[in-house]
A and B are shown apart, each in its own frame.
Chain A
């Protein structure tokens, strides 16, 4: 599904990703761990096509080179990023935003747009799965949401937009135990053999719920170690230092 070859990215004169290789096959769950500032969010941004980076190397998604594909096209083709810091958009009704999003993606796929009623039915169903109060849907997008509420809203969007590859950037940070379980259940109920995940996290506890096929350690812009799920437990005990 995703193949990254020797990816380098710099911004503002700073080299952040320094030759990163990663392959994620359809149906796989990969986790990325790594110290603060190692380039995890940058990787997520570059995958989504955020402007402002100088890029070399190659990103292939479903056999197609992504490097120059605009952000919305990547999204329409099935790349989803759950933001580490979801943006607040004042004055924009959450439910309207979600409907615009799902319809943009449906339109791009050549599907019929959802009318208001079918949308409401769908969104209510997804929201209740994530134990999100319907009241949130009529509030301004992320404005005044708590950290946990913002993160749940990201997972709601994921479930609604049904991406092929979901990149979750520290979705678990700042969640209490209950919210963490809800988010993990949300991911698990969506996960299947046709979609893939790249989960960026600092904590093993999320990986106790969502079993990754591989764990990578990103340090200073490169993947310095890849392992199976035991690697997570090991890191939990010893920290990243022992790897150096």
Chain B
């Protein structure tokens, strides 16, 4: 009885749809679509050519199929690759010109775009389907020489930076979904931090899928110049639909000498219903290069949504003494599936990487950690520490840990620890005896289990993430 009641509580509160007129690219994955997107965004010729090269390459590629979660064949010709609210066709110059329906949507999602009611200390770029709606706090950032805008705007205003770095971390030809993204990417965020500037606030992008039968292919590019620092966070939600929607993003990070990028994700795409109908396919390529010496890239992800999550935010540790970190919480409930982890490629000397992964599986869900640590022959005196913990709730879910380890020089050390446990009944009893109900007890214990990762999140988002962890597991025990 309890389960049923609880399940009805577990409503996906971001599942609403905004009724708004949109205009779309012609249906289907064709050269025409690629040209349409490029044209509507008034892109320079080099970028159109770049997209077309990706499109051509795509035809010779196959979708990878080594991942654990299988899914029905995606009908690429039945999808729309570009969708934008009509009102954004001529990009509004200020927030006053933005359709109130859009502002209302973000308000409902807890993301006020109005700077008066802003999240304190957080600048937001809001992406709705294929286009950026608004970016807040631009003025303040510009004073420091920081560029934070949609990638479409960056292509117009900062073409040399975009040209230099776009595709420099994830090559055009990388793999099926990355190449698909390169051909049809629509919008996303662009960040450039000038030398020796510490970005004074959190930068954040909020992705929202609204239109149906539409894929979202966003592209994010972050460049931290020498000695700079930036902390960036992305959040994502989508309406409840019984179709599966594809989200195939590419995110590239570049850290030059002594620079640091902290990239956090709170992913709460619609996960599908309890029976496994609908939900987002979250097939994302995220990769950062620690290009300069002493640079650092840190990925933190809280993955609670999506029907299938399939992503490996990675670090290429090229500069000597560079550091890569990956902190992950992946929660799967009902019929959700996740195959996620990281790749740490050590090229420079004295490079260090750290991987902390917390997988939580409930219901009939399946959760795989898959990670590669590759220490190159020349990456002398490098170190990796990996810790993968899995927590199982109930008897019908699965957890797997698949580490690939390559250490090609004797001066380097790789340490790997892994645990799998069931939620501890005695701990639950202890909490219940202190008056906590089952939900509160599970939430407390799971949040404790995830602590090391949660505490990596920027303060403004840590509380939200904790709540999300609890909500995602409601109804999973008892």
What is A's interface to B at a CB cutoff of 8 Å?
48-52, 70-72, 75-76, 80-81, 83, 86-87, 89-92, 97, 100-102, 104-105, 108, 140-141, 157, 161
Contact = CB atoms under 8 A, between A and B. Distances in A.
10 contacts: A49-B432, A51-B429, A75-B433, A75-B435, A89-B427, A89-B431, A100-B444, A101-B434, A102-B435, A141-B448
B19 interface: no
A72 B440 CA distance: 11
Most buried by A among B432, B440, B449: B432
B451 to A, nearest CB: 3
B452 interface: yes
B199 to A, nearest CB: 30
B436 interface: yes
Contacts of A92: 444-445, 447-448, 451
B390 to A, nearest CB: 15
B430 interface: yes
Contacts of A97: 431, 434, 444
A104 B425 CA distance: 20
A90 B437 contact: no
Given A91-B449, A91-B451, A92-B445, A83 B430 contact: yes
B261 interface: no
A217 B424 CA distance: 32
Given A90-B449, A91-B447, A92-B447, A104 B429 contact: no
Most buried by B among A51, A87, A91: A91
A89 B435 contact: no
B426 interface: yes
A42 B451 CA distance: 33
B432 A72 contact: yes
A76 B444 CA distance: 18
B451 A104 contact: no
Main secondary structure of the interface of B (DSSP, over half): helix
A89 B447 CA distance: 10
Contacts of A157: 434
B448 A72 contact: no
Contact of A91 (B425, B431, B432, B448): B448
B468 interface: no
B432 A70 contact: yes
**Those 4 A-B pairs whose CB atoms lie nearest each other, nearest first:** A91-B448, A91-B451, A71-B432, A92-B448
Contacts of A87: 424, 426-427, 429-430
B440 A100 contact: yes
Contacts of B440: 100, 104
Given A100-B440, A100-B444, A140-B448, A72 B426 contact: no
A89 B448 contact: yes
Nearest to A97: B444
Interface of B: 424-427, 429-438, 440, 444-445, 447-452
Nearest to B430: A87
Contacts of A80: 433
Nearest to A108: B435
B450 A72 contact: no
Nearest to B451: A91
Contacts of A72: 432-433, 435-438
A83 B430 CA distance: 8
A12 B181 CA distance: 57
Contacts of B452: 91
A140 B51 CA distance: 52
Contacts of B436: 72, 100-101, 104
A104 B447 contact: no
A97 B84 CA distance: 46
Nearest to B452: A91
Contacts of A91: 447-452
A89 B430 contact: yes
Nearest to B426: A87
A89 B445 contact: yes
Most buried by B among A71, A80, A100: A71
Given A89-B444, A90-B448, A92-B445, A161 B435 contact: yes
Contacts of B450: 91
A91 B448 CA distance: 4
A75 B447 contact: no
Contact of A86 (B430, B435, B444): B430
A141 B449 CA distance: 12
B95 to A, nearest CB: 35
A72 B430 CA distance: 10
A71 B447 contact: no
A218 B447 CA distance: 40
A71 B440 CA distance: 13
A57 B212 CA distance: 60
A27 to B, nearest CB: 23
A13 to B, nearest CB: 19
Given A91-B450, A104-B440, A71 B445 contact: no
B448 A76 contact: no
A61 B426 CA distance: 24
Contacts of B425: 51-52
Nearest to A160: B434
A70 B432 CA distance: 9
Nearest to B454: A91
Given A89-B427, A89-B444, A104-B440, A81 B449 contact: no
A49 B438 CA distance: 13
A144 B13 CA distance: 39
Given A89-B445, A91-B451, A50 B437 contact: no
Contact of B433 (A48, A89, A90, A140): A48
Nearest to B450: A91
A135 B181 CA distance: 51
Contacts of B429: 48, 50-51, 71, 87
Given A83-B430, A91-B451, A101-B436, 6 more contacts: A50-B429, A72-B432, A91-B450, A92-B451, A101-B434, A104-B437
Contacts of B431: 89, 97, 101
B440 to A, nearest CB: 6
Contacts of A49: 432
A161 B433 CA distance: 11
Contacts of B435: 72, 75-76, 101-102, 104-105, 108, 161
B448 A104 contact: no
Nearest to B445: A89
